[in-house]
């Protein structure tokens, strides 16, 4: 799953990509998204806007990883 998301995220290198991510299992969501972002290390994803809908427990790690690649991160608490 991380590889598919990584390919999608890579579109943020050459154009705009707005992506919202949510999941019932916060730990799994965090792991998959962080793995996908790590697969894009070395790229500048300046066109990426990533919205996490979920637990505030995973917010900081995903925000840091997204911004490290040049993307913009948004957060909304989820159920």
For the chain, give every domain's residue range. Answer: 2-77
Cα 68 to chain center, whole Å? Answer: 11
In 3-state terms, what secondary structure has residue 44?
Answer: coil
Site of tokens 């707005």: 18
The radius of gyration computed from the CA coordinates of the chain, to the nearest angstrom, equals 11
Name the strand (E) or helix (H) holding 68: helix 59-68
79 pLDDT higher than 90: no
pLDDT at 78: 86
The per-residue pLDDT for range 36-52, each reduced to its tens digit, is 999 999 999 999 999 99
CA angle 12, 16, 17 (to 5 degrees): 65
């Amino acid at each position: 799953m991380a590889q598919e998301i990584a390919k999608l995220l890579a579109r943020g290198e050459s154009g705009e990509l707005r992506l919202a991510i949510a999941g019932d299992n916060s730990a799994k969501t965090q792991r998959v998204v962080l793995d996908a972002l790590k697969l894009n290390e070395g790229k500048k994803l300046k066109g990426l806007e990533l919205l996490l809908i979920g637990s505030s427990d995973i917010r900081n790690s995903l925000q840091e990883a997204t911004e490290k690649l040049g993307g913009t991160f948004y957060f909304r608490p989820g159920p």
